[in-house]
Structure 1
Amino acid sequence: MKTFAALVVMLFVAININAQPPEVPAEKGTVFGAKTTADDAITVEQLAAVMKSREGKKTEVKIRGTVTTVCEAMGCWIKIKSADGDLMVRMKDHAFFVPLALNGKEVIVDGIAEEKTTSVAQLKHYAEDANKSKEEIDAIKEAKKELTITAKGVLVI
């Protein structure tokens, strides 16, 4: 039994060490995570107004936007184009990942929006995931208060 348990642990570690974004197409109609539709989706600009009226409290939302960046390490986060700087979208509990092919695609993100302060360490981690240069990573010196979404599902439209 100990041998079996040790094998399971080693397999889990090996899978996590070699984690990469899935190499699947990001074609129209493809869903990553929980199934969702485009019904009642709002724009990123509308989301800012909704969050302001809710005083930044957690709010269930469905937004429509264009992906500008995908986490190159695992596909565990994306950024959506916004007039105020790109909107960070994290995949809920790392339960699903998205492919690099999602970059530039228009998507519907179904999830929970909230205002958060992202630490310097976390911002540097995201920069590393995005393969930013050492200089760009070292330039991150301050935490950032930002609107983020924890996605349950992502639909390519």
Structure 2
Amino acid sequence: MKRLLYSVLLTVSVLSVSFSQEDVQKSSPPAGNALVGDFYGADISKTSENKAISVEKLESDLKNSNKAENVSVKGVVTDVCPKKGCWVSIKTEDGSSFFVKMKDYAFFVPTALKGKNVVLEGTAEKKITSVDELKHYAKDAKKSKAEIDAIIKPQEEIRFMADGIKVVN
């Protein structure tokens, strides 16, 4: 009897792991309209919202130090990962952008976030991103083969690890 019970439990646990991995692989960005006040991950307090700095100020701060922790930044979302909503790009006033990932892969954002004004809270740092990683994100963004093939050298850029993202006006 114990062997039968053990076999059943083992089979159920193996099947549940298989199905949960399959669900993760087939996931898509969460649904939602990304309305003002909506937040993803940790909620951003009014205090953090009010003290949020511009992307340009963040870029300036990172010239002196390669890392800024517990920083709030405001900007406009220019792109969202269409596969899972696991990353976004934020536009700077000079037209460049920086890349944002969600801390610990703990939350995702809807594609409706594209074009919205947001406040991010988390850690920013200057990093060199490898060609392979740049190509991976270009594929996720459904860039053309020509655009992907044109990525031939690593890129120094600002990377932001967000604890939370909030839609603001």
TM-score (ref. length: structure 2): 0.89
Is the Cα–Cα contact under 8 Å of residues 67 and 123 in structure 2 kept in the other structure? no
Q: Provide the rounded CA distance (Å) in 2 between the counterparts of 1:76 and 1:28.
A: 20
Q: Provide the rounded CA distance (Å) in 2 between the counterparts of 1:87 and 1:45.
A: 11
Are 1:40 and 2:51 an aligned pair?
yes
Are 1:98 and 2:106 an aligned pair?
no
Percent of pairs identical after alignment? Answer: 43
Are 1:87 and 2:98 an aligned pair?
yes
> RMSD of the alignment, in Å?
1.1
Q: Which moved more, 1:17-26 or 1:56-65?
A: 56-65
Residue 58 of structure 1: CA displacement?
A: 4.3
Matches within 5 A, 1:140-151: 140-151=151-162
Q: Which amino acid aligns with 1:4?
A: V
Partner of 2:149: 138
Q: Provide the rounded CA distance (Å) in 2 between the counterparts of 1:69 and 1:92.
A: 18
Partner of 1:120: 131
Partner of 2:10: 2
Greater share of helix: 2
Matches within 5 A, 1:9-48: 9-37=17-45, 38-48=49-59
Is the Cα–Cα contact under 8 Å of residues 51 and 59 in structure 1 kept in the other structure? no
List structure 1 runs of 4+ shifted beyond 6 angstroms: none
Q: Provide the rounded CA distance (Å) in 1 between the counterparts of 2:67 and 2:59.
A: 12
TM-score (ref. length: structure 1): 0.95
Where does structure 1 lack aligned partners over 5 or more consecutive residues? none
Partner of 1:111: 122
